[in-house]
Chain A
Amino acid sequence: EIVLTQSPATLSLSPGERATLSCGASQSVSSSYLAWYQQKPGLAPRLLIYDASSRATGIPDRFSGSGSGTDFTLTISRLEPEDFAVYYCQQYGSSPGTFGQGTKLEIK
């Protein structure tokens, strides 16, 4: 199975700053089948990005995804207070689909 490693584990930034979150795969993710989710405490995950760079319905355009092969990035161009949460990547190009361990984005 493909192992996803997210970095950093914790990212401390201020509102208005740019956030760059990384997701590295142990093997190439076929067809860039990679998703990003946001999860706030006590709530279910929320789909942000699928197919590496396609924004899900209703997601603001400050969220963008990029990458291919084994290296993927989620960028939040200008942080809003509601963006501070845990972010997970998921690959679904190979079965079983696997998730990264998460990056906690916290207020500095």
Chain B
Amino acid sequence: EVQLVESGGGLVQPGGSLRLSCAASGFTFSSYWMHWVRQAPGKGLVWVSRINSDGSSTSYADSVKGRFTISRDNAKNTLYLQMNSLRAEDTAVYYCARDPSQNYYDSSGYSDYWGQGTLVTVSS
């Protein structure tokens, strides 16, 4: 059974940093692209970032480019999101999600499995 479990969320002051983790199990983590998607309270879904199977290719939404860094440790079956220079508008539940693509060069772009999410609150 595919499982994705996020952790690392919490309350942080504007300008602060936080690192989210997503522990994966039930599939060959090192073969899949992965995404981070966020959802502000009471709002819709917004794609944040994606990474290929070995971590050599990444992309970001314009709203987080230069502030957030996605990475992965395939030996630990874990996906990360390092978030720096946090702003109030980054407040959201952050989901990690698996892309069904096992193609090294291209993701599918959608997500077939999602974690339960971790809440990040940016406030003074």
Could you list which residues of chain A lie within 8 angstroms of chain B, going by C-beta atoms? 33, 35, 37, 43-47, 50, 56-57, 88, 90, 92-93, 95-102
Contact = CB atoms under 8 A, between A and B. Distances in A.
A44 B110 contact: no
A88 B44 contact: yes
A102 B46 CA distance: 12
A33 B109 contact: yes
B95 interface: yes
Interface of B: 44-47, 59, 61-62, 95, 100, 108-117
Contacts of B46: 99
A92 B108 contact: yes
Nearest to B6: A44
Contact of A44 (B44, B61, B115): B115
A95 B60 CA distance: 10
Contacts of A45: 45, 95, 111, 114
Contacts of A50: 100, 108, 110, 112
A93 B62 CA distance: 18
